[in-house]
Amino acid sequence: MKITVKEAADILGGKLYGDPSTEITGISKIEDANPGDLTFFYLSSYEKFLSSTKASAVLIKPEVNKSRNDICYIEVEDPKGAFQQIISKYFSYEISLIGIDDSAYISPSAKIGKNVSVGKNVVISDNCKIGDNTKIFHNTVIMENVRIDSDVLIYPNVTVRENCVIGKRTIVHSGTVIGSDGFGYNPDEKGVYHKIPQIGNVVIEDDVEIGSNVSIDRASIGSTLIKTGVKIDNLVQIAHNVVVGENTVFSAQTGVSGSTKIGKNCILAGQVGVVGHIEISDGVIVAAQSGVSKGISKPGKYFGSPAKEMVNALKLESHIRNLPTYVEKIKLLQKEIEELKTHVLKNKSRDEA
């Protein structure tokens, strides 16, 4: 693919500085760019690369200094977003999968929509419904009574278990299991654990993306619900009967325990753990490696284990880091107090004499 910087600027509605006929033939990070590449600058920590980048054009914010005349600049308010826009329009690629491979098994009772592509060794079991324009890559297993809407993309080695529902334009990456049994057991009087039947399902709404090696457990009764626009990173565990609100984002290695309800527009960063049977408000951001041990009722940033409002958590963390200094100060104060007490006692004895 080849475009000019003028074409890029026109698409983005940006202001161009430099030769409008300069050609863009690739995209790259600012520190790795070569002639012909378009890159972007938006974090101050990357400012050192502005003077040395070999890119032909850089997407920048209006306030950034344009000190070089050997490259082009395109001013935009959101360089990162603009860069992604150019990638999506000109430099993204689509993995080819056309038709239904001979090695795939599709149950006679399954209903397959128009323009569906099915890869090698895929199994589509009884009474499944697959919507139009869906692509299901190799070695995926779709069990009984699953409904998959149109324009879904399922990468290799995915399992979708019985009765689950996947909405439109959803993407599921390799190794993910949707509808595994929830972790439900009852101990008897001897402490022996007995499995509780997990007879619910998983419902995934539209425009969801699920990373690789994610486990979303089926509900014990009812549905585990992932609402529209949710984005889930790799290696995330979502337990039975969890409800995740619209446009909420999970980073890698986050785990959510059963029957918890998470609001919309939340962010749970890497390695966050959430206990079961609580509710988290809309608009909550939980920082990495935090542990949410009770419900969160108001929007904001939270950090720590147990998670606290960010401002309070950082103050507490600062005090913890200063504990060695505090200990030394306390020892000095104790010594001074003892010396004062000794001094007072001596004066008192002298006065009494």
- Select which of 240, 277, 319, 343 is catalytic: 240
Annotation marks residue 138 as catalytic: no
* Angstrom distance (rounded) from CA 19 to CA 191: 76
Give the catalytic positions in this structure: 240
